[in-house]
């Protein structure tokens, strides 16, 4: 149910929208929308101060109403209305009657619609309410995830009853447990179910058939020889096909993509996928998609995951809530492990009107829906029951942990359960940490060695790490390591030496992982910048999005991307130099140069003159994983680095140059063609360069965009956390020479052309075309 919805903020004026829809993303940005006077306790604050932009400075607070109609030829015998998430507190009306409601905006929920539907035209309405101070970040507003209506006869397979799991893999044989059930009372005939597993080519590799038990369920075991195992490197998917028969006649049929793989955690092997130990190289992600807001989009998710994989990342933590089904499907098929999270708070509120209002009454139901909706995704390797829950210190907290973890196990005995703890001593004293399958610690790596001594599990996870801050293309001098740096321009330095008082540098996490086998991996805060939480500028206006990302809000890599790539990507060499080399004001001034590379050593040259050969140094905090020439004097021209492998052989080099005059726009499309489905997207990176293609690294020209042909302009984003230009207007300034334009395919085939021009300088323009088929 995506087209033809009517939307209103006041139930007076209505506009037509397509679902998924985020009512707040077009802005305008204004600090009045979400101004708060609070102390952020997690950040160690004691005094209340005015915070702007904490939840994105976008108009997500308030009410929203959606309406649509469904025409039915006859009254359905069974009907399930499924929301993959609705922000928030949705109440659903069918033909004027309350058909169901939910509280948490991030969870999927289902409504038995059959009693309310009739033959002919049916009205479906959803009312939503977002209240102030209910979120620590930008939640978005509206029907931001898909809605579907499933119609059936008097017997129907229940999607959420279908459950597939790998019990064990021994030698070349996999043992799989399958189950499925029905919705509705089946009163007549002999009913049976057929469950079969097909490989990617469509061949049936296993099948079981049996009558349903008294509860309308079917449970069985399957064996598959020579299974193709799912992993991030080999995301092989099978199709589970469930068929329901009455008196030998097929009455319903469903298919689900599944994967064969095992997950284990223990003292001996740490975290193992298919029996093979690996350290999790993960990133935390909030749910928003930058300039697209919370409205979920498959093409945008694919771009996110591909970019992370190219960095060598193999896991995502869905901080701090239930993921969308679309995101999990993308992770299944591209090969990305997932920690699927649930809550940012339980009983004790972290913000005044957060989920704590609902926890007691709703937590079990929320966990149930999380697990039932998502347990067939091979990508999900663990559930998380919470993030930095304030109750860590208490026995009550420990018992809630135990309860929620048990609930996950009952619904899904195949996965371990974790949560991210930020108060190590208290959590270890109360036993909160010891009850978890996977004890996860957020930051404070210096406490790991003390923590492990008290953990019977014998391992721990860096459930949240780094929180290093930077702005793409911004370099501050002199370069300093700091946990509290702020500047008048509201930006952070891209030398990757700045972090928060509670956090650390990537290098600090890696030291622990490399030196101690019991650290089973990490989830970096964060893979991408997100809307809201503009730390360290929580009190600075204008600033409305985060600085934590490895990539900026537009999805463009910051320098840090290459630092993680140099450590995580084991397939390809990384040779990255920073800063850029266009510093007219810095002639003769000390301008440190860093090289991010997987190689142990490199030599740097400025205009051909050697700056010395450096080796990584295991004993040093900052030189173990980076090569740093701290005394380079800037001269315009050329910076060249040659990298050497362990044998001392030169294996690659990289040159960057001082930019000349702005001459042209470089437009880079991340897709070759788009599907004519009205939702597919292409992200086009726009860079202002000189005539030789070197980026003009300070450029902030105002650009205009126009899309012709088989598509439309969707959004633009320049990654500047202090920009108040709306994402959905076809004009934006470059931020440090770059921005991203998002274009959307039409439903008709053809060619889409994006034109980019400088608002003031008519000589600067470019265009690119993409086939829509
Ligand atoms: C953590 C928290 C995250 C985010 C992060 C910023 O403590 O779990 O949600 O706030 O800090 O560093």
Q: For the chain, how big is the Rg over CA atoms in Å? A: 27
CB distance 438 to 409 below 8 Å: no
Query: What's the gap between Cα 183 and its chain centre?
Result: 33
Cα angle, residue 549 at apex, residues 546 and 552 outer, rounded to 5°: 85
For a pocket test of ligand 1, which of 343, 344, 354, 464 has the largest count of ligand atoms closer than 8 A to its C-beta? 464
Predicted pLDDT of residue 215: 75
Handedness of CA 387, 389, 390, 394 (dihedral sign): negative
> In Å, how far are 296, 297, 548, 607, 751 from 748, measured between CA atoms?
22, 19, 39, 53, 9
| pLDDT per position as a tens digit, 469-488 | 999 999 999 999 999 999 99
CA distance linking residue 84 with residue 107, whole number of Å: 7
d(CA 459, CA 437): 10
**Which atom from ligand 1 is nearest to the alpha carbon of 503?**
12
Q: How far is the CA of 34 from the centre of ligand 1 (A)?
A: 19
Q: Which atom of ligand 1 sits closest to the CA of residue 388? A: 8
By three-state DSSP, how is residue 184 classified?
Answer: coil
For CA atoms 365, 366, 370, 371, give the dihedral sign.
Answer: negative
How many angstroms does the Cα of residue 290 sit away from the middle of ligand 1? Answer: 18
Nearest of 680, 765, 759, 761 to residue 725 by alpha carbon: 759
Q: State in Å: Cα 388 to ligand 1 middle.
A: 8
Q: Give the residue from 656, 625, 630 showing the smallest Cα distance to 641.
A: 656
Gap from CA of 17 to ligand 1 centroid (Å): 34
CA angle (342, 347, 349) in 5-degree steps: 90
* Mean per-residue pLDDT of the chain: 97
Q: According to the model, what pLDDT value does residue 186 have?
A: 63
φ, ψ (nearest 5 deg) of residue 704: -125, 150
Protein residue with least CA distance to atom 3, ligand 1 = 525
Residue 631 burial by CB count (10 A; 0-12/13-18/19+): exposed, middle or buried?
Answer: exposed
Instruction: Give distance in angstroms: CA of 340 to centre of ligand 1.
Output: 17
pLDDT tens readout for residues 21-44: 999 999 999 999 999 999 988 888
DSSP E strand stretches across 532-608: 575-578, 593-597, 601-606
Residue 42 pLDDT: 83
0.95 exceeded by the pTM?
yes
Work out the burial of residue 548: count CB atoms within 10 Å of its CB; fewer than 13 is exposed, 13-18 middle, 19 or more buried.
Answer: buried
Stretch among 218-222, 294-298, 573-577, 605-609 having the lowest mean pLDDT: 218-222
pLDDT at 700: 98
Tell me how far apart the alpha carbons of residues 754 and 484 are, in angstroms, rounded to a whole number: 42
At residue 216, does pLDDT exceed 80? no
Catalytic residues: 388, 464
In DSSP terms, 665 is beta-bridged to: 688
Q: Two tokens at 615?
A: 């080796």
Residue 101: how many CA atoms within 13 Å on its side-chain side? 12
Residue 367 CA to ligand 1 center (angstroms) comes to: 22
Q: Which of 216-230, 354-368, 379-393, 406-420 has the lowest mean pLDDT?
A: 216-230
pLDDT in tens, 530-555: 999 999 999 999 999 999 999 999 99
Residue 639: strand pairing partners: 606, 656
Nearest CA to ligand 1 atom 6: 467
Measured at the CA of 747, the angle between CA 745 and CA 750, to 5 degrees, comes to 70
Render 663-727 in DSSP notation, one character per residue.
Answer: -EEEEEES-SEE-SSS--EEEEEEEEE-TTS-B-TT---EEEEEEEESEEEEEEE---TT--S-T
Burial 418-456 (b: 16+ CB within 10 A, else e): bbbbbbbebbbebbbbebbbbbbbbbbbeebeebbeebe
Measured from the CA of 546, which atom of ligand 1 is nearest?
6
Q: What confidence score (pLDDT) does residue 610 get?
A: 98
Which is the closest atom of ligand 1 to the Cα of 422? 7
Average pLDDT over residues 392-421: 98
Atom 7 of ligand 1: nearest residue by CA position: 42
- From the CA of 42, give the closest atom in ligand 1: 7
Predicted confidence (pLDDT) at residue 185 exceeds the cutoff of 70? no
Query: Per residue in 596-645, pLDDT tens?
Result: 999 999 999 999 999 999 999 999 999 999 999 999 999 999 999 999 99
Q: Which residues have a Cβ under 8 Å from the Cβ of 178 and sit 6 or more positions away?
A: 163, 164, 195, 208, 218, 219, 220, 221, 222, 240
Going across the sheet that includes 681-689, the strands are 664-669, 681-689, 738-745, 711-717
Write out the DSSP string of 23-65: TTTT----GGGT-EEE--GGGT--S-EEE-STT-SSS-SEEEE
Residues 176 and 167 sit within 8 Å (Cβ to Cβ): yes
Checking DSSP bridges between strand 217-225 and strand 173-183, what pairing results, if any?
A: antiparallel
What are the distances in angstroms from CA 357 to CA 121, 136, 533?
Answer: 37, 15, 22
Pocket test for ligand 1, best of 38, 40, 41, 42 (most atoms within 8 A of CB): 42
- On the question of pLDDT at 214 being above 80, the answer is no
Distance 346 CA to ligand 1 centre (A): 16
Half-sphere exposure of residue 546: CA atoms within 13 angstroms, side-chain side: 31
Q: Can you tell me whether residue 218 is helix, strand or coil?
A: strand
Instruction: Give dist(CA 660, CA 393) in Å, integer.
Output: 59
- 327: helix, strand or coil: helix
C-alpha 527 to ligand 1 mean position (Å)? 13
Retrieve residue 675's tokens: 């599907």
Q: Ligand 1 centroid vs 293 CA: distance in angstroms?
A: 20
Query: What are the distances in angstroms from CA 438 to CA 269, 318, 453, 515?
Result: 13, 16, 15, 20
CA distance readout (Å), 164 to 159, 161, 195, 219, 411: 12, 10, 10, 10, 12
Task: Write out residues with Cβ below 6 Å of ligand 1.
Answer: 42, 319-320, 387-388, 422, 442, 464, 467, 500, 503, 525, 533, 535
Q: Ligand 1 atom closest to Cα of 467? A: 12
595: closest CA among 559, 555, 631, 620?
A: 559
Contact 125, 143 (CB under 8 A): no
State the distance from the centre of ligand 1 to the C-alpha of 500, rounded, in angstroms.
10
Instruction: Quick: pLDDT tens for 358-379.
Output: 999 999 999 999 999 999 999 9
Tally DSSP H helices, then E strands, for the chain: 8, 46
Q: Is the pLDDT of residue 508 over 70?
A: yes
Look at ligand 1, atom 12, and give the residue with the nearest C-alpha.
467
Pocket test for ligand 1, best of 288, 320, 468, 525 (most atoms within 8 A of CB): 525
220, 210 contact by CB (below 8 A): yes
Query: What is the C-alpha separation between 723 and 290, in angstroms, rounded?
Result: 13
669: phi then psi, degrees, rounded to nearest 5? -95, 135
> Would you state the structure tokens that stand for residue 87, as one six-digit string?
């922000």
Torsions phi, psi of 538, nearest 5? -60, -25
Calculate how far, in angstroms, residue 216's C-alpha sits from the geometric centre of ligand 1: 45
Q: Please report the pLDDT score of residue 218 as a whole number.
A: 87
Q: Work out the pLDDT band at 155, boundaries 50, 70, 90.
A: confident
| DSSP alpha helix (H) spans, 472-602 | 506-515, 559-568
Is residue 501 within 8 Å of residue 540, measured between CB atoms? Answer: no
Query: Six-digit token pair at 423?
Result: 């108060």
Helix or strand run (H / E) with residue 753: strand 750-758
């Amino acid at each position: 149910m995506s087209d033809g919805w009517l939307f209103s903020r006041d139930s007076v004026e209505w506009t037509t929208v397509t679902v998924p829809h985020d009512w707040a993303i077009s802005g305008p940005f204004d600090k009045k929308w979400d101004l708060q006077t609070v102390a952020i306790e997690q950040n160690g604050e004691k005094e209340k101060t005015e915070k702007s932009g904490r939840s994105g400075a976008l108009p997500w607070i308030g009410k929203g109403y959606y309406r649509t109609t469904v025409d039915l030829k006859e009254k359905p015998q069974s009907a399930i209305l499924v929301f993959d998430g609705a922000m928030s507190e949705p109440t659903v009306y069918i033909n004027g009657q309350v058909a169901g409601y939910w509280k948490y905006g991030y969870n999927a929920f289902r409504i038995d619609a059959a009693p309310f539907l009739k033959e002919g035209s049916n009205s479906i309405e959803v009312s939503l309410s977002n209240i102030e101070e209910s979120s620590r970040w930008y939640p978005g507003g509206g029907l931001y995830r898909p809605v579907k209506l499933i119609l059936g006869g008097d017997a129907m397979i229940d999607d959420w009853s279908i459950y597939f799991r790998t019990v064990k893999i021994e030698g070349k044989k996999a043992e799989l447990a399958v189950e499925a059930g029905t919705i509705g009372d089946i009163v007549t005939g002999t009913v049976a179910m057929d469950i079969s597993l097909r490989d990617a080519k469509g061949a049936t590799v296993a099948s079981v058939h049996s009558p349903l038990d008294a509860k309308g369920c079917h449970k069985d075991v399957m064996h598959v020889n020579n299974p193709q195992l799912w992993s991030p490197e080999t995301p092989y998917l099978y199709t589970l096909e469930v068929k329901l028969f009455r008196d030998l006649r097929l009455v319903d049929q469903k298919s689900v993509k599944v994967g064969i793989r095992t997950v284990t955690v223990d003292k001996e092997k740490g975290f193992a996928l298919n029996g093979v130990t690996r350290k999790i190289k993960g990133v935390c992600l909030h749910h928003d998609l930058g300039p697209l807001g919370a409205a979920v989009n498959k093409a945008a998710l694919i771009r996110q995951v591909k970019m992370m994989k190219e960095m060598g990342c193999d896991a995502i933590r869905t901080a701090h809530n239930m993921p969308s089904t679309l995101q999990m499907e993308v992770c299944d098929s591209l090969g990305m492990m997932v920690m699927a999270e649930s809550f940012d708070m339980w009983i004790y509120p972290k913000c005044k009107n957060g989920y704590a209002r609902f926890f007691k009454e709703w937590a079990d139901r929320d966990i149930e829906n999380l697990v039932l909706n998502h347990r067939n995704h091979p990508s999900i390797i663990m559930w998380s029951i919470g993030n930095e829950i304030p109750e860590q210190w208490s026995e009550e907290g420990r018992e809630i942990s135990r309860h929620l973890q048990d609930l996950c196990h009952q619904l899904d005995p195949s996965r371990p359960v974790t949560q991210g703890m930020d108060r190590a001593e208290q959590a270890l004293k109360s036993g909160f940490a010891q009850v978890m399958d996977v004890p996860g610690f957020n930051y404070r790596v210096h406490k790991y060695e003390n923590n492990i001594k008290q953990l019977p599990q014998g391992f721990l996870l860096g459930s949240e790490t780094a929180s290093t801050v930077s702005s793409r293309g911004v370099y501050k001098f002199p370069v300093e390591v700091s946990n509290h740096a702020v500047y008048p321009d509201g930006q952070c330095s891209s030398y990757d030496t700045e972090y928060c008082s509670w956090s650390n540098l990537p290098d600090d996490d890696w030291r622990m992982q490399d030196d101690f086998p019991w650290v089973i991996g990490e989830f970096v805060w964060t893979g991408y910048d997100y809307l809201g939480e503009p730390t360290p500028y929580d009190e600075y206006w204008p600033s409305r999005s985060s600085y934590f990302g490895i990539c900026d809000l537009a999805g463009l890599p910051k320098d840090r991307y290459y630092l993680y790539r140099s450590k995580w990507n084991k397939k390809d060499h990384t040779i990255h130099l920073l800063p850029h080399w266009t510093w007219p004001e810095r002639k003769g001034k000390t301008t440190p140069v860093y090289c991010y590379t997987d190689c142990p050593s490199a030599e740097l040259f400025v205009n051909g003159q050697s700056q010395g050969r450096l080796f990584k140094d295991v004993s040093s905090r900052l030189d173990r994983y980076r090569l740093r020439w701290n005394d380079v004097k800037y001269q315009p021209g050329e910076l060249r680095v040659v990298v050497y492998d362990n044998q001392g052989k030169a294996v690659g080099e990289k040159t960057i140059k001082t930019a000349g005059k702005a001459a042209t726009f470089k437009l880079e499309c991340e897709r070759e063609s788009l599907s004519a489905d009205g939702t597919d997207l292409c992200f086009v990176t726009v860079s202002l360069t000189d005539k030789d293609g070197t980026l003009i690294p300070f450029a902030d020209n105002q650009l205009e965009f126009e899309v012709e042909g088989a598509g439309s302009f969707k959004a633009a984003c320049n990654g500047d956390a202090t920009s108040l230009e709306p994402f959905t207007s076809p004009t934006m300034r470059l931020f440090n020479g770059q921005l991203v334009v998002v274009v959307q395919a039409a439903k008709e085939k053809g060619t889409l052309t994006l034109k980019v021009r400088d608002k003031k300088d008519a000589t600067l323009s470019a265009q690119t075309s993409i086939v829509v088929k």
